[in-house]
């Protein structure tokens, strides 16, 4: 990490400023915002508050109940934090050491290379560590073999890449106060209960009963494999491990994950890191699924569902073509509920269902979710019927709004227990407005009319409440979440814990569309955040509370909640600011090369090697990146504010560098509200042109546009499709409206 370039604000200046100094600097860079610019500013995410310090990587088969915790520097598997916020930990801690002095693998950061994923995105973690003149290698992954999945089996290969055999040693220690022994076959480690906790390659490892360790003395170029059971099993159920079995398991892992990826949509850009990140995120979210629930995290207090965050992750799955998986996850989202957030939740649940219906037109899915044969934690019958009833029958007569409820899922310092929430009302409006369209489509015309009428009345009440509550003494005006004077303007949003919650919740309001993204209200909300300390690197800022899980109180980022802010920038066609958010997230909202994030992150480094993140991994953080990338490339929009998508815009917000001469962009089978779309753009600027092949969705959009954002001030001078002249606007946008089938576009490029 080299630090900010000459002339760019220091970290201290950024933390103290009310403006996004680094975001502004990125906008001024030649070629605009980029990963490289943001990556140089501060060290990467690396640490957590647990005793094992280095962030954990969750490894498992898709949706498996037993999951492996791999500590990212290669030091441990299934390490235990033994802290209240890391509840739900499983497995026997296993530590890796090297050398005769038993140095913990990865302990000296200056000598660690990694972690990295195989091929950049597959959940096979690779590390290299130099100690005592020897370079040790480590590779680990979770088995996807149906025979091993239920036991959470981690496969590990340890080796010596280079060095001297006379001082090379690998030790694997199993943490237990009770004695262990070898199986009769001498290739398995048995715990005190007679269960297998590990299997190892015969002839390579030796067992030290006194220290419960396996020992390997490698020669240069030699490696040895073992299998670690997160859930110990009977010896008859354990699998013997050797290099051949390991290689077969490895290939099965690679093939299985690639098969899942290729079954969905493909987004191929000229930046490998961009492509690796969405693939790793999609895989990461499959690994966070458990019991058909989209979990927020794993191995900690967040290993559960949440409506907003889980809904975002499910919608990302659907937009990336994993429709069947998204459908399977939805029933449990309707079962989930939290007291005193009923309006907020009802709106979000109906928004989620409506969006996935618009992508699939699956009437059977909607009908199956009307009522579920169970009860939720409040004793209600879950399903969309219950949620729409909450919204249809819940508004107050006098205000036209819903009764006061909690500001957020957590208690918010300085706020009343319940408030008239702009967020809850906007969420409810969007849920009713969208679901009215769904209801009408499936033949529930009377209920659709009731929902539509209620939504229209609610919107009027919301806008009236905003006008009564907005503080115009500030510049830009302050639009509160807690209405009618319950929330005062923040001089600096990030100076307050309540401001941190405001910064999260107001983005839900912005994304609801209760006031359009191009309205004066939206201008005020976005401007207020940008000018009052709410944004850093295009990401959501927050105040980390000392005395909790942070090393110290400081101003950090909470970027998983940046989703609707980034999507608003994209929909407003504010491409440069959207790319600040996109690359800020890619460079500083993820761990390097493994693309993992927690709920929040520090800005100030713990040391020269890294910053702190909270309770990774996180499915909503993955969804934030995935959805942002999708909308950079594919935009299905309702432009006349009636709830029905009418416009499809392709490649509208891509970085200009993606269309340098010889580069290409490819999107395949991306679900939209008009049906799946595919396109490919190829740049041949050196030959004076650029071309595109577009396969129009089944349901022809009212407007179909493709944009060629070219570098170096290049512009389109003309464009044709099958010899027909096409309209070109602003030197980069080509109108394909009315064309069907597969369209071949040829465009000429000039200065």
Mean pLDDT for 257-266 is 98
Distance (Å, rounded) from C-alpha 100 to C-alpha 170? Answer: 8
CA-based angle 384:389:394, to the nearest 5?
135
- Sequence spans of domains, the chain: 48-259, 647-750
Please classify residue 348 by burial: count the beta carbons closer than 10 Å to its beta carbon, then call 0-12 exposed, 13-18 middle and 19+ buried.
buried
Mean pLDDT for 613-642 is 97
pLDDT digits (tens, 9 = 90+) for 191-219: 999 999 999 999 999 999 999 999 999 99
Mean pLDDT for 302-322 is 97
Question: With bands split at pLDDT 50, 70 and 90, how would you rate the model's confidence at 584?
Answer: very high
Distance (Å, rounded) from C-alpha 535 to C-alpha 22? Answer: 10
pLDDT the model gives residue 1: 55
Q: DSSP letters along 200-223, please?
A: E-TTT-EEETTTTEEEE-PPTT-E
CA-based angle 34:38:39, to the nearest 5?
110
CA-based angle 536:538:543, to the nearest 5?
35
Name the least confident of 1-5, 55-59, 174-178, 614-618.
Answer: 1-5
Mean pLDDT for 137-154 is 98
pLDDT the model gives residue 549: 66
Question: With bands split at pLDDT 50, 70 and 90, how would you rate the model's confidence at 26?
Answer: very high
pLDDT digits (tens, 9 = 90+) for 521-533: 999 999 999 999 9
pLDDT the model gives residue 314: 98
Q: How many CA atoms lie within 13 A of 412 on its CB side?
A: 24
Mean pLDDT for 618-625 is 98
Mean pLDDT for 313-340 is 97
Q: Are 408 and 427 in contact (CB under 8 A)?
A: no
- Taking alpha carbons only, the member of 491, 457, 495, 489 closest to residue 470 is 489
pLDDT digits (tens, 9 = 90+) for 31-66: 999 999 999 999 999 999 999 999 999 999 999 999
pLDDT the model gives residue 550: 67
pLDDT the model gives residue 552: 66
Name the least confident of 175-184, 191-200, 679-688.
Answer: 175-184
Domains 48-259 and 647-750 share a fold: no
Mean pLDDT for 70-81 is 98
Q: Are 537 and 23 in contact (CB under 8 A)?
A: yes
Distance (Å, rounded) from C-alpha 554 to C-alpha 203? Answer: 52
Mean pLDDT for 471-500 is 96
Q: What is the CATH number of domain 647-750?
A: 2.60.40.1180
Helix then strand count (H, E) for the chain reads 18, 36
Mean pLDDT of the chain: 96
Q: Are 653 and 575 in contact (CB under 8 A)?
A: yes
- Kindly tell me if the per-residue pLDDT of 254 is higher than 70: yes
Helix (H/G/I), strand (E/B), else coil: 49: coil
pLDDT digits (tens, 9 = 90+) for 684-734: 999 999 999 999 999 999 999 999 999 999 999 999 998 899 999 999 999
Find where tokens 């290099």 sit.
243
pLDDT the model gives residue 103: 98
Distance (Å, rounded) from C-alpha 67 to C-alpha 150? Answer: 9
Q: How far apart are the first and last CA of the chain?
A: 37
Q: Determine if the pTM surpasses 0.85.
A: yes
DSSP 9: P
- Kindly tell me if the per-residue pLDDT of 663 is higher than 80: yes
Question: With bands split at pLDDT 50, 70 and 90, how would you rate the model's confidence at 443?
Answer: very high
pLDDT digits (tens, 9 = 90+) for 271-283: 999 999 999 999 9
Question: With bands split at pLDDT 50, 70 and 90, how would you rate the model's confidence at 88?
Answer: very high
- Taking alpha carbons only, the member of 296, 366, 364, 298 closest to residue 336 is 296
pLDDT digits (tens, 9 = 90+) for 534-578: 999 999 999 987 667 666 668 899 999 999 999 999 999 999 999
pLDDT digits (tens, 9 = 90+) for 344-372: 999 999 999 999 999 999 999 999 999 99
Mean pLDDT for 245-270 is 98
For residues 178 and 58, the model is more confident at: 58
CATH fold of 48-259: Beta-galactosidase; Chain A, domain 5 (2.70.98)
For residues 378 and 387, the model is more confident at: 387
DSSP 234: -
Distance (Å, rounded) from C-alpha 725 to C-alpha 198? Answer: 68
| Residue 353 structure tokens | 């269902």
């Amino acid at each position: 990490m080299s630090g900010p370039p000459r002339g760019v604000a220091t970290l201290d200046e950024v933390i103290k400023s009310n403006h996004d100094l680094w975001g502004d600097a990125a906008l001024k860079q030649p070629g605009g915002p980029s990963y490289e610019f943001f990556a140089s500013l501060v060290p990467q995410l690396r640490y957590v508050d647990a005793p094992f310090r280095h962030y954990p990587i969750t490894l498992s088969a898709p949706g498996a109940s037993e999951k492996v915790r791999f500590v990212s520097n290669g030091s441990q598997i299934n390490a235990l934090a033994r802290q209240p916020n890391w509840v739900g930990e499983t497995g026997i801690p296993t530590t890796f050491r090297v050398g005769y002095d038993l140095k913990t693998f990865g302990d000296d950061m200056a000598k660690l290379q990694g972690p990295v994923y195989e091929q950049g995105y597959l959940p096979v973690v690779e590390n290299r560590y130099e100690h005592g003149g020897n370079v040790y290698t480590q590779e680990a992954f979770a088995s996807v073999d149906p025979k091993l999945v239920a036991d959470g089996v981690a496969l590990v290969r340890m080796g010596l890449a280079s060095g001297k055999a006379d001082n090379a040693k690998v030790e694997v220690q199993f943490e237990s106060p009770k004695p262990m022994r070898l199986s009769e076959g001498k290739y398995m480690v048995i715990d005190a209960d007679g269960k297998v906790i590990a299997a190892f390659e015969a002839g390579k490892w030796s067992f030290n009963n006194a220290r419960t360790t396996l020992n390997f003395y490698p020669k240069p170029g030699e490696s040895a494999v073992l299998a670690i059971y997160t859930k110990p099993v009977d010896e008859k159920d354990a699998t013997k491990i050797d290099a051949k079995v390991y290689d077969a398991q490895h290939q099965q892992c690679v093939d299985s994950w690639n098969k899942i990826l290729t079954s969905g949509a493909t987004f191929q850009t000229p930046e490998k890191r961009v492509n690796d990140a969405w693939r790793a995120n999609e895989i990461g979210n499959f690994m966070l699924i458990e019991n058909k629930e989209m979990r927020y995290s794993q191995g900690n207090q967040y290993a559960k569902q949440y409506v907003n965050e889980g809904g975002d992750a499910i919608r990302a799955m659907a937009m990336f073509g994993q429709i069947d998986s998204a459908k399977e996850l939805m029933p449990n989202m309707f079962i989930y509920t939290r007291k005193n957030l009923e309006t907020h939740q009802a709106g979000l649940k109906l928004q989620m269902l409506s969006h996935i219906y618009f992508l699939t037109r699956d009437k059977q899915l909607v009908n199956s979710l009307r009522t579920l044969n169970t009860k939720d934690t409040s004793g209600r019958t879950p399903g969309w019927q219950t949620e729409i009833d909450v919204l249809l029958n819940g508004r107050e007569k006098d205000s036209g709004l819903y009764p006061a409820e909690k500001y957020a899922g957590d208690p918010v310092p300085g706020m009343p227990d319940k408030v008239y929430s702009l967020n809850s009302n906007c969420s409810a409006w969007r849920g009713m407005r969208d679901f009215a369209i769904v209801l009408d489509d499936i033949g529930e015309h009377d209920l659709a009319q009731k929902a539509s009428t209620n939504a229209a009345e609610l919107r009027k009440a919301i806008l009236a409440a905003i006008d009564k509550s907005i503080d115009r003494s500030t510049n830009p005006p302050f639009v509160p979440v807690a209405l009618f004077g319950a929330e005062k303007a923040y001089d600096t949003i990030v100076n307050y814990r309540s401001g941190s919650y405001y910064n999260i919740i107001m983005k839900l309001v912005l994304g609801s569309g209760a006031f359009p993204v191009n309205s004066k209200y939206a201008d005020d909300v976005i401007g207020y955040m940008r000018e009052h300390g709410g944004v850093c690197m295009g990401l959501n800022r927050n105040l980390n509370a000392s005395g909790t899980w942070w090393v110290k109180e400081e101003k950090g980022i909470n970027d998983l909640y940046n989703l609707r802010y980034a999507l608003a920038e994209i929909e407003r066609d504010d491409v440069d600011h959207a790319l600040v958010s996109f690359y800020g997230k890619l460079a500083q909202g993820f761990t390097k090369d493994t693309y993992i994030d927690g709920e929040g992150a520090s800005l100030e480094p713990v040391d020269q090697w890294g910053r702190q993140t909270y309770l990774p991994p996180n499915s909503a953080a993955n969804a934030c990146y995935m959805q942002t990338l999708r909308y950079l490339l594919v935009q299905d929009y309702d432009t006349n504010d009636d709830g029905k998508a009418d416009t499809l815009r392709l490649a509208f917000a891509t970085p200009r560098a993606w269309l340098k001469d010889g580069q290409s962009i490819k999107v395949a089978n991306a679900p939209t509200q008009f049906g799946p779309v595919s396109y490919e753009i190829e740049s041949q600027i050196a030959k004076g042109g650029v071309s595109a092949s577009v396969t129009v969705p089944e349901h022809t959009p009212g407007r179909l546009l493709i944009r060629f954002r070219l570098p170096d001030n290049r512009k389109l001078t003309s464009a044709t499709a099958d010899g027909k002249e096409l309209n070109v606007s602003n030197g980069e946008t080509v109108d394909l409206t009315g064309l069907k089938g597969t369209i071949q576009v040829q465009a000429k490029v000039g200065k």
